[in-house]
Structure 1
Amino acid sequence: MCPNPATGDCHWDGSPRHRRHPRPLRVAATSPSRLLRAGQSGRCRRCGNRIDIYQRTDQRPIALHPAEVATEQVPDSCRWHLAGGIAHPHGDGSAWCRIPHIVLCPGSTPTPRLGRRLEEVRRQLALHTRRLIDTGTFTPTTLADSPPATGAPAPARPVVQMLLSRYLADSPLENIRCVAQTRHRLRCTCPVLDSTSPAGTWKLLPAGPQRGQLALPDTLMAVYDLSHLPYPEQARWRTQHCPAHAAPRGAADLALAGWQVFDPLLHTAHIYTRLPHHPAGHSRGR
């Protein structure tokens, strides 16, 4: 009996092989968010459980629990809904809503009082965290960033001034990575700080106030100033794109930009009163 060898289009028994062609992800031109849905999932650094990251109406990121929860089981202050890829801090009138992950995270203490159903979800997440720790696939880390030691070459989270505002970065300037998608559907590996583009200037500027924030004592802080650069260059930094992906409405994004609006009261640990030692290509000013 002669065996029936499998061909490229058929299984070993001769049945047709159905191949699924990959469908490219695209972002609609009318979408308020340029972030692809594939880039909005991650893992919580405190508990290791899955989170869905969305932009809020103020363009700041928020981590939501990936599953919907019955609205009647969620306190009013914890109800969120999605519209056009943007998270809104209230319910939309339906029987289901989304809830911030921080409310259910086993690594944090919930501020609102949870009901029986949400406490059960929190216990399940805690059990999953314990399994990840026992198998060695997850090591919990704290979200609080300590300031670098004295004499460090640069702040671990520098303050950058651009587009008439100040923003706190999530990593050193040299490590800020482009968030755009490449043609291979991967995140771009190029840094935002490019040697061929105009560089910013380290300056000692007053710590506040900014845009109606509370006034602080006259304190000079180290700021990486981009305000003297042309608007397209400042916009490139704000959107966290490398020069190759700086074209407006070009490639979609696979991650959220890591900027936070700098608040001198909330981010006191990241205020440095001395100019850092800077690498080549960075200028200093006073």
Structure 2
Amino acid sequence: MTTTSPSRLLRAGQTGRCRHCSSRIDLYQRPDQRPIALHPAELATTDVPEACRWHLSGGIAYPHGDNSAWCRIPHAVLCPHRIPTCQAGPRIEAIRRQLAVRARCLIDSGALTSAPPATPQPDAPQTGGPDRPVVQLLLCRYLAQQRLEDLRCVAQTRHRHRCPHPVLAPGPAGMWKLLPTTAQHGQLTLPDALMAVYGLGHLSYGEQLRWRTQRCPAHATAPGAADLALACWEPFDPLLHAAHIHTRLPTLRPARTEGDDQCRTTPWKSH
């Protein structure tokens, strides 16, 4: 990895905070390009169950050990807000207790709220589409981590800050469509059903690639600019992501013509 590579900062991992317990996490990409949050410190492999061992190679997180005496562990195993995903030993339980005490102190001081976010009522309109829309581009479907208008460019500016501009820009836009919940290669088949998908397949290859790399129009033509964050796309799996399947199109403003099954707007109404 050269110092001039646009992805050099991503390969170093992205530091963040768990939204549940506010503990520090390191975000890396897995081989399937999905992000994973790892505990920032290495642990002895003898303290970590084999199914929970991860190691880093070339900036990619792999779900197994590398035959060394140390390994990384997913934050989900240690987060006090979550149910443990594997049988934990004394060392892991001790870390979980430490994180739980820290989270409780933050909650008591008001720095962290323990209340879950309010769930909108079924009939309450949500501007900007679903919280996590399904997008089809480059012949693949992805689940976004944010609403379409909240997708922010991941490129680094000249002042070494993250670009503040959105990916959704004036000009050619996607179209909401009702498409079959077709399983991808290697996934189990599902009963025939339709789901709302934000399709970008009618746009040019360059425009679809701009969305896939999560860049604004200005940085789409600046390949030398480094990335300061991971593109928040997750390969869509209709079984794993069933909660994000919507069987109706967004509610339009202004209302679309009767019988039209496509739209170019993002206001959304949950169903």
Structure 2 length as normaliser, TM-score?
Answer: 0.85
The equivalent residue for 1:5 is none
Q: Which among 49, 53, 56 is matched to residue 75 of structure 1?
A: 49
**Rg bigger for which structure?**
1
Please say if residues 7 and 227 of structure 2, whose CA atoms lie closer than 8 Å, have aligned partners that are also in contact. no
Instruction: Output the amino acid matched with 1:149.
Output: P
5+ unaligned residues in a row in structure 2: which ranges? 264-271
Q: Which among 36, 40, 54 is matched to residue 62 of structure 1?
A: 36
Q: What's the CA shift string for 1:213-250, capped at 9, x where partnerless?
A: 22222211111111111111111111111111113642
What is the RMSD of the two structures over their aligned residues, measured on CA atoms?
2.7
- Count matched residues: 257
2:151 is the counterpart of 1:168: no
- Structure 2 CA distance for aligned equivalents of residues 166 and 114 of structure 1: 35
Please say if residues 31 and 84 of structure 1, whose CA atoms lie closer than 8 Å, have aligned partners that are also in contact. no
Instruction: Output the amino acid matched with 2:82.
Output: S
Please say if residues 178 and 187 of structure 1, whose CA atoms lie closer than 8 Å, have aligned partners that are also in contact. yes
The equivalent residue for 1:285 is 262
- Structure 2 CA distance for aligned equivalents of residues 112 and 57 of structure 1: 22
Q: What's the CA shift string for 1:188-212, capped at 9, x where partnerless?
A: 111101003x211111111122224
Specify whether residues 53 and 141 from structure 1 end up closer, same or farther in structure 2 by C-alpha distance, changes over 3 A only: farther
Residue 179 of structure 2: SS of its match in structure 1?
strand
Residue 161 of structure 1: SS of its match in structure 2?
strand
Specify whether residues 122 and 80 from structure 1 end up closer, same or farther in structure 2 by C-alpha distance, changes over 3 A only: same
The equivalent residue for 2:182 is 208
2:228 is the counterpart of 1:237: no
User: 1:156: how far off?
Assistant: 2.0
User: 1:29: how far off?
Assistant: 5.1
- Structure 2 CA distance for aligned equivalents of residues 159 and 146 of structure 1: 20
Mapping of residues 126-165 of structure 1, within 5 Å: 126-140=100-114, 149-150=122-123, 152=125, 153=127, 154-165=129-140
* Higher RCO (C-alpha 8 Å, min separation 6): 2
Percent same amino acid among aligned pairs?
Answer: 61
The equivalent residue for 1:15 is none
Q: Which among 69, 88, 101 is matched to residue 75 of structure 2?
A: 101
5+ unaligned residues in a row in structure 1: which ranges? 1-25
Instruction: Output the amino acid matched with 1:89.
Output: P
Specify whether residues 212 and 91 from structure 1 end up closer, same or farther in structure 2 by C-alpha distance, changes over 3 A only: closer
Structure 1 length as normaliser, TM-score?
Answer: 0.81
User: 1:278: how far off?
Assistant: 4.8
- Structure 1 CA distance for aligned equivalents of residues 40 and 9 of structure 2: 20
Specify whether residues 151 and 217 from structure 1 end up closer, same or farther in structure 2 by C-alpha distance, changes over 3 A only: farther
The equivalent residue for 2:95 is 121
- Structure 2 CA distance for aligned equivalents of residues 86 and 285 of structure 1: 38
